[in-house]
Copies of this chain bind each other. A is one copy, B any other.
C-alpha cells in the first residue's frame, strides 16, 4: 500500500515566515494584511490535493509511463482526471496576474505550493510549472493581441505550455539551433525538430502553447540570431484559416513523433517534436526579432527556481519515507533485549539529520529566492503598476540578488535531492532497492534535476561569470555581508543564559563567519585573475557554486535557528503569520528544539564540506588544464 506524501506544513510555514521576514515583504506596498490566513488556507488545500489526488498516482504513473499512439500522447490512468481537478480547484491561477484571471498571490506562497506538487508527483508537477513560466514570458514579452488570446486559458489551466529549445546538435550550446521560421501572413511558418520536450504532447488539456526557439532567414549567426515563437498545438478558430470540424480550431503542424524511455519521471512525456513536416507550423513572434533568448530566459529563470522547489519536494518525500521506515523497522536490541526501531541507531539518526538539514536548508534558500522575486515585482497582484510604486533601488537590489540566487537554487536544490534520495535508499537497506519501496522511484526521479533547464555546470558558469565576475563581486559582497549579519545575530542570541549546556549554536555561527571571509577572499582572487587566466572560471565554477551553496544553506539555518529561538506563541511573528506550527512536532518548544538541533548539525556535519570545495577552488587551473584530452 502506497505511503501518501504529506506536505510538511510546520516546516513550510516556518520557511515562508523566515523568507518574508528576511526580505521584509510586509513593507511592500499592497502586501495583503491577511496574508497569514490566506497562506494557511492555500497550503492546507494544496496539502489535501497532493495527498489525496497526486500522490496516489505517483507510483502507478511511473509503472505505466506515458505512451505515444497515432492520436498523440496518452498519459497514465488517472492523470487527466487529476489535472481537471487541479484546474477546477484553481491551482494554475494562484500567482498569475489578476488582469488575466489569476489570483495574484505572492510568489513566495506559490513556491510552497510548487514544492508540494513536486513532492507528491514530480512527473505531474512539471506540466503546470511550464505553464507558469510561459505566462511570465508572454506577460512580459508578447504583443497585446497574443497576450489577450493566450494568457487567459494558460492562467486557468485550460491550456498548458511547453518550452522547445533543445535540438540534437544544440543542447547546452543553443547558438547552433537550426529550426527555421519564415514569414507567413500575419505570422510565421516554422520547420525543424526539437528534442527533450517535457509535456510536449498529452491528453490533459485541449491545447498546448509551445514556446519555440528558432532562427529566421538571414539572422546573424550565434545566440544573437535566435527568436522566440509561440506555436500552438491547435490554432484558435479565428486565426487566419477557417475552423475545421470542431470548435477547437485547426490542428497545427507540430507533433510528438517519439517519446524517450527514461530512468525516472516516466509519467511525464519527454517528446521529440517535429515542426513543419506537413506544410509548416504556424507561429507568432514573441518579443523582438533576434531577441528570443532574453525572452526565453524569463521562462527559463522561472523554471530554474521551479526545479529547485520540485527538488526540495522530492527530498522532503525521501525524508518522509526514510523517517517512517526508520520508525517502523526494528533491528538490533536495547539493553533490555527488546528490538529497537532503527531510528534509535546512531548512524540512522546521522543519515536522517543529514537529509533534514539539507532538505530544509534547500527549502529556505528556494523560498528566499521566491520572496526576492516578489520584491522585484514590487506590488503583489498589481504587476502593471510595478514601475509606479515602491523604491526602485530596493527592486534593483532584489533583481541583483535574484540573479545570484537563481543558479544557486537550481543547482544546489537538485544536487541535494540526489544526495538526500540516495540517503533515503540507504536508510531502507536492501528494501530501498526494491521498486515497491517507493524510495527507489524518488532516487530515479531526482536524478533529472541536475540535468535539465541548464545542467548544473551551466548554472555554475552563470553564477560565477555573469553574476560574480561581471560586477566584480558587488552582488556577492551584498550577500556575504547579509550572511555575516545572520551569523552575528545568532552569536548575540547564543548566550549561556539563553541556551542550556550543549545547545550552543556556535557550531554553526563560527564556521559560517569563517567561510564568508574565505569566500570573499577567493572571489576577489578569481575576479582579479580571470582576465589574465581565461581558463580559470571554467575550472573553478562548479566547486565555487558548491562552496557558496553550502554556506548559503548555513545562512538559512542561522535564520531558522534565530527564528526558532525568538519564537513565542503570543507573537504572531512576521507577515508569514506563523502562529501554530503543527505536523510532526507537538509543541512550540519541541519544534524550536528540533530546529536548533538541526542547525547545530548543519554547522558540524554539513558546513565543513566547504573546506573541500575551497581546496578545489584554490587549486585553480592547476591540473585541470594540464592533461591533454588523450591523457584523461
Chain A residues engaging chain B, CB cutoff 8 angstroms: 166, 169, 171-173, 175-176, 196, 260-264, 323, 327, 330-333, 339, 341, 343-347, 349-350, 352-353, 356, 418, 422, 425-426, 429-430, 432-436, 440, 443-444, 447-448, 450-452, 455-457, 460-461, 502-503, 507, 535, 538-539, 541-543, 584-586, 590, 593-594, 597-598, 600-601, 604-605, 608-609, 611-612, 614-616, 619, 621-627, 629-632
Contact = CB atoms under 8 A, between A and B. Distances in A.
Given A331-B171, A541-B347, A608-B611, A264 B631 contact: no
Contacts of A457: 347, 426
Q: How many copies does the complex hold?
A: 2
Nearest to A339: B176
A261 B434 contact: yes
Contact of A196 (B430, B586, B593): B430
Contacts of A196: 430
B346 A539 contact: yes
Contact of A173 (B261, B331, B619): B331
B263 A435 contact: yes
Given A171-B430, A264-B433, A349-B629, 17 more contacts: A169-B330, A175-B333, A176-B339, A260-B434, A343-B629, A346-B538, A347-B539, A352-B632, A353-B624, A425-B447, A433-B448, A443-B447, A604-B619, A605-B619, A609-B612, A611-B611, A611-B612
Contacts of A261: 434-436
Contact of A171 (B426, B429, B433): B429
A53 to B, nearest CB: 25
Contact of A426 (B456, B502, B503, B601): B456
Contacts of A586: 630
A604 B622 contact: yes
Nearest to A616: B605
Contacts of A353: 623-624, 627, 632
Contacts of A448: 433
Main SS at interface, chain A: helix
Contacts of A435: 261-263
A349 B632 contact: yes
A343 B632 contact: yes
A175 B457 CA distance: 48
B346 A625 contact: yes
Contacts of A443: 263, 447
Contact of A440 (B263, B450, B455): B263
B630 A502 contact: no
Given A538-B346, A590-B630, A418 B429 contact: no
A338 to B, nearest CB: 12
Nearest to A341: B629
Nearest to A613: B608
A168 to B, nearest CB: 10
Contacts of A624: 346, 349-350, 353, 601
A623 B600 contact: yes
A171, A356, A541 interface centre (most CB from chain B within 10 Å): A171
Nearest to A175: B333
Contacts of A339: 173, 176
A440 B261 CA distance: 11
Contact of A460 (B347, B538, B598, B604): B347
Nearest to A63: B261
Contacts of A176: 339
A448 B426 CA distance: 10
A423 to B, nearest CB: 10
26 contacts: A172-B429, A175-B333, A260-B436, A261-B436, A262-B433, A263-B443, A343-B632, A346-B539, A346-B621, A347-B541, A349-B627, A350-B624, A353-B624, A356-B632, A422-B447, A425-B447, A426-B456, A430-B451, A503-B626, A507-B623, A590-B630, A600-B623, A605-B623, A608-B614, A609-B612, A611-B615
A259 to B, nearest CB: 10
A586 B631 CA distance: 9
Given A263-B433, A429-B172, A604 B623 contact: yes
A442 to B, nearest CB: 11
A598 B542 CA distance: 19
Contacts of A594: 627, 631-632
